[in-house]
Amino acid sequence: MSKITTARLQAMKQAGQKIAMITAYDATFATLFEQAGVHSILIGDSLGMVLQGEASTLKVSVDDIAYHTRCVANGSKNAFIVADMPFMSYSTPEQACASAAALMRAGAHMVKLEGGDWLADTVAQLTRQGVPVCGHLGLTPQSVHVFGGFKLQGREAEQAEQIKRHARALEAAGIQLLVLECVPSQLAADISRELRIPVIGIGAGPDTDGQVLVMQDALGLTSGYVPKFTKNFLAESGNVRAAIETYVAEVAEGRFPGPEHSFN
């Protein structure tokens, strides 16, 4: 696989080619996922739950993300690396720049922020400083206590319009990628068509420009609650590399997510 850049991701959107993203937290899985054809690797603050055993992502620190970003960057030479900005690490533009600097130095190609138009100044400042930014709307796990749990967002017309407004404002401020999590398929499709930048979905239906999954979900390494939008690719494939190759292929062909993984 040749080097994936923001320009390459933008070209994929324009060509109608689906983007496959997955989380990873170490060099071994980063190498394997890149060899399996994944275009982008996300060092998610999901590590707080899947690696550290916490009930939410809120205890994850910039140092935690930077450590795992460095590990992933050592294992991946061509995939596009996105690092999450943890809870309360970007409450001001100045703090955001300091946090982003640590993650970019660790090997990230882009940082991801959760939130809407109130982050426009922060996004603009990061962009001016040479930091590519990914937005994240819909179910934003860092706001889990505000939402009252991990719930579908954008089902009501007013809330759907609000998410659209936030998406437009973030794009105008300079984001180059947007993640939509746990929103109705039609809302995600509308936003994906309207925005010029690539839109990556998780629990957002099949009509976004790409998909992202937490690696533990894609490999069936979860216990207890299994989100509707996930699929265990390892159960069908028998080994990890084949499982991720299947994930990439099903995303490319529009077979994943199916109706059973989406919200109306």
| Active centre residues (catalytic) | 181
Q: Residues comprising the binding site for 3-methyl-2-oxobutanoate? A: 45-46, 84, 112
Residue 4, phi-psi category: left (phi > 0), alpha (psi -120 to 50), beta (remainder): beta
Q: Using DSSP, state whether 208 is helix, strand or coil.
A: coil
The candidate with the shortest Cα–Cα distance to 132, out of 95, 176, 98, 94, is 176
Q: Residues comprising the binding site? A: 45-46, 84, 112, 114
Cβ within 8 Å of residue 169, ≥6 positions away:
116, 117, 120
Cβ within 8 Å of residue 152, ≥6 positions away:
139, 182, 183, 184, 203, 263
Q: How far apart are CA 233 and CA 245, in angstroms?
A: 9
Cβ within 8 Å of residue 56, ≥6 positions away:
48, 49, 141, 144
Q: How far apart are CA 127 and CA 208, in angstroms?
A: 24
Q: How far apart are CA 193 and CA 112, in angstroms?
A: 21
CB atoms within 10 A of CB 14: 11
The candidate with the shortest Cα–Cα distance to 49, out of 214, 184, 218, is 214
Q: How far apart are CA 158 and CA 168, in angstroms?
A: 16
